[in-house]
Amino acid sequence: MSLPVVAIVGRPNVGKSTIFNRLAGERIAIVEDQPGITRDRIYSRSEWNGREFHLIDTGGLEFGEQDEMMDHIRNQAELAIEEADVIVFVVDGRQGITGTDEEVARMLHRTNKPVIVMANKIDDIKYADNVYEFYQLGFEHVIAVSSIHGTGTGDLLDEVVRHFPEPSEEEYDEDTIRVCLIGRPNAGKSSLVNALLGEERVIVSPVAGTTRDAVDTPFEFEGQSYVLIDTAGIRKRGKVYESVEKYSVLRAMKAIERSDVCLIVIDGERGIAEQDKRIAGYAHEAGKASVFVINKWDAVEKDEKTMDRFKRKIRDEFQFMHYAPILFVSAKTKKRVHQILPMVSEVAEQHAMRVPTSVLNQVIQDAMVTTPPPSEKGRRFRVQYVTQVAVKPPAFVLFVNDPELSHFSYLRFLENQLRQAFPFQGTPLRIIMRKKNKS
């Protein structure tokens, strides 16, 4: 199920990024201190009153020549509203309505989507009456906010959440494995879909960025139902593509949420780029099972050690995804493509695996006996009880004597012990600590 999307739009210098950062900072999330994960500041997952949603900042609408202004506004606004379920239209509550505000308002009216006008910079009682002017823009909801001080943000979020669409029912049954292909443009994702299906079901083009929308393709293989979700390629941010490609990234993120298994497609010929780590980081943080698929391996000049060197580079560059298996394939020649779906089924099974509580506790207690945690100021970290609380991904709660005595390296050791005891290939694990009550 995809989360609702909230887009923040408006002209320059009205405080879009400030309100974005404030709303993003209020989200409740697990932050993992692991190397290699990079984050793009224009996206965030946020939460209000139990409803999670995507937050997207359209960025500063920095215009060049005057005659280009309307084109820039149109491109930015149309792309933002195309993806959004709710739009927050930020205006300057002190300056009043400008011609640019009116142009943006006209475009938003044509969308028939919920629009909430946020009159920003109302941080003094003397500006409070300025809010009424903005009703001239023709929207029902105008809310006074000071993004710097945070006043009014609760009212804003209440109104935003009220306009979310009702959560839709998942269109596939629970036995269907949903597979998402993600990667940089022109890495061969659409070609892999065609190779897997054995038929031309999606457009394949050598022009980077051809696929704009996610395309679902249900099919069966050896009695197992699958859905392939081919997403728009994720391009590194740059001046030329920034306005378009940021929304392609959002589409990929939404597809990741709907998937069980992510195939992280890397162009073997071009090698690993920083953007590949960003893409993989999205899948890891979403808790999805993952497989690295190195495509175009037929085009790589190689000797008997080339594959091992590439594997080592993957492990070095993606340390946070040490659990993900690696496949070397060619969508063009179909070499090793037959290995993909069996691997997908295997990691999907591990992603959904539940371990009996008694066995789980035995593994953790044995690990702590053979390798006790270090003591700190005469006190030693102890795990008194462990239970699995979720699957997809497997999540474990450790009831401990004092969470502050734990160390990241020891928690990693316990995770490794779980991986040695149980076949958790291809899936991240979530470990949560709770202090056990003495009673």
Distance CA 436, CA 424 (A): 27
Is 187 flagged in the annotation as binding? Answer: yes
Q: Is the pLDDT of residue 201 over 90?
A: no
Are residues 120 and 201 part of one domain?
no
Are residues 107 and 184 part of one domain?
no
| pLDDT, the chain, mean | 82
Q: Using the 3D structure, point to which of 298, 324, 351 is the last residue of a domain.
A: 351
Is 345 flagged in the annotation as binding? Answer: no
* Res 38: pLDDT: 34
CB 439 within 8 A of CB 417: no
Residue 169 in domain: no
Is 60 flagged in the annotation as binding? Answer: yes
Q: Is the pLDDT of residue 317 over 70?
A: yes
The number of domains in the chain is 3
Is 297 flagged in the annotation as binding? Answer: yes
* Res 214: pLDDT: 52
Are residues 326 and 185 part of one domain?
yes
Choice between 253 and 243, residue whose per-residue pLDDT is larger: 253
* Res 436: pLDDT: 76
Is 184 flagged in the annotation as binding? Answer: yes
Question: 59: alpha, beta or left, given left = phi > 0 and alpha = psi -120 to 50?
Answer: left
What angle (nearest 5°) sits at the alpha carbon of residue 264, between those of residues 258 and 269? 150
CB 223 within 8 A of CB 172: no
pLDDT, average across residues 238-255:
56
Confidence bin at 30 (pLDDT 50/70/90): very low
Chain segment 67-88, per-residue pLDDT in tens = 455 565 556 556 667 778 999 9
Is 48 flagged in the annotation as binding? Answer: no
Three-class SS state of 58:
coil
Four-residue CA torsion sign, 274, 278, 279, 280 = positive
Structure token digits, residue 391:
């699957």
Is 231 flagged in the annotation as binding? Answer: yes
Structure token digits, residue 208:
């980077």
Is 155 flagged in the annotation as binding? Answer: no
Distance CA 122, CA 128 (A): 6
* Res 113: pLDDT: 92
Residue 171 in domain: no
In this predicted structure, which of 191-200, 286-295, 301-310, 355-364 has the lowest mean pLDDT?
191-200
Is 14 flagged in the annotation as binding? Answer: yes
Are residues 366 and 344 part of one domain?
no
Is 120 flagged in the annotation as binding? Answer: yes
* Res 64: pLDDT: 42
Is 295 flagged in the annotation as binding? Answer: yes
Which of 48-57, 128-137, 370-379 holds the top average pLDDT?
A: 128-137
CB atoms within 10 A of CB 255: 23
CB 312 within 8 A of CB 252: no
Is 287 flagged in the annotation as binding? Answer: no
Structure token digits, residue 308:
């091992």
Cβ-count burial of 438 within 10 angstroms (0-12 exposed, 13-18 middle, 19+ buried)?
exposed
Is 94 flagged in the annotation as binding? Answer: no
Chain segment 3-15, per-residue pLDDT in tens = 888 988 888 788 8
Are residues 302 and 221 part of one domain?
yes
* Res 397: pLDDT: 94
* Res 29: pLDDT: 28
Q: Is the pLDDT of residue 353 over 80?
A: yes
Is 16 flagged in the annotation as binding? Answer: yes
Is 189 flagged in the annotation as binding? Answer: yes
With a CB cutoff of 8 Å and minimum separation 6, the contacts of 439 are none
Is 126 flagged in the annotation as binding? Answer: no
Is 13 flagged in the annotation as binding? Answer: yes
Q: What is the CATH number of the domain that holds 253?
A: 3.40.50.300
Residue 369 in domain: yes
* Res 259: pLDDT: 92
Confidence bin at 65 (pLDDT 50/70/90): very low
Residue 170 in domain: no
Is 333 flagged in the annotation as binding? Answer: no
Is 153 flagged in the annotation as binding? Answer: no
Is 290 flagged in the annotation as binding? Answer: no
pTM, two decimal places: 0.70
CB 36 within 8 A of CB 281: yes
Q: Is the pLDDT of residue 322 over 80?
A: yes
CB 248 within 8 A of CB 213: no
Are residues 279 and 132 part of one domain?
no
Which residue intervals of 261-301 are DSSP H helices? 274-285
In this predicted structure, which of 157-166, 188-197, 260-269 has the lowest mean pLDDT?
188-197
Amino acid identity, position 26: E
- The percent of residues in the chain predicted with pLDDT above 90, rounded, is 40
Are residues 257 and 369 part of one domain?
no
Is 430 flagged in the annotation as binding? Answer: no
Are residues 75 and 137 part of one domain?
yes
Residue 290 in domain: yes
Q: In this structure, what DSSP letter does residue 65 have?
A: S
Q: Is the pLDDT of residue 66 over 90?
A: no
DSSP conformation letters of 70-102:
HHHHHHHHHHHHHH-SEEEEEEETTT---HHHH
Residue 168 in domain: no
Are residues 190 and 336 part of one domain?
yes
Structure token digits, residue 261:
């298994």
Is 36 flagged in the annotation as binding? Answer: no
* Cis? peptide before 393, omega within 30° of 0: yes
CB 51 within 8 A of CB 289: no
Are residues 126 and 38 part of one domain?
yes
Confidence bin at 108 (pLDDT 50/70/90): confident
Residue 55 in domain: yes
Domain containing 267 equals 177-351
Are residues 139 and 9 part of one domain?
yes
Are residues 347 and 369 part of one domain?
no
Distance CA 269, CA 263 (A): 17
Is 124 flagged in the annotation as binding? Answer: no
Is 311 flagged in the annotation as binding? Answer: no
Strands, sheet with 43-48, edge to edge from the N-terminal-most edge strand: 43-48, 51-57, 5-9, 86-92, 115-120, 141-144
Q: What is the CATH number of the domain that holds 391?
A: 3.30.300.20
With a CB cutoff of 8 Å and minimum separation 6, the contacts of 148 are 15, 18, 121, 123
Distance CA 102, CA 244 (A): 23
Is 156 flagged in the annotation as binding? Answer: no
Q: Is the pLDDT of residue 28 over 70?
A: no
- In the chain, the largest separation of any two C-alpha atoms, in whole Å, equals 75
Is 100 flagged in the annotation as binding? Answer: no
Q: Is the pLDDT of residue 89 over 70?
A: yes
Residue 167 in domain: no
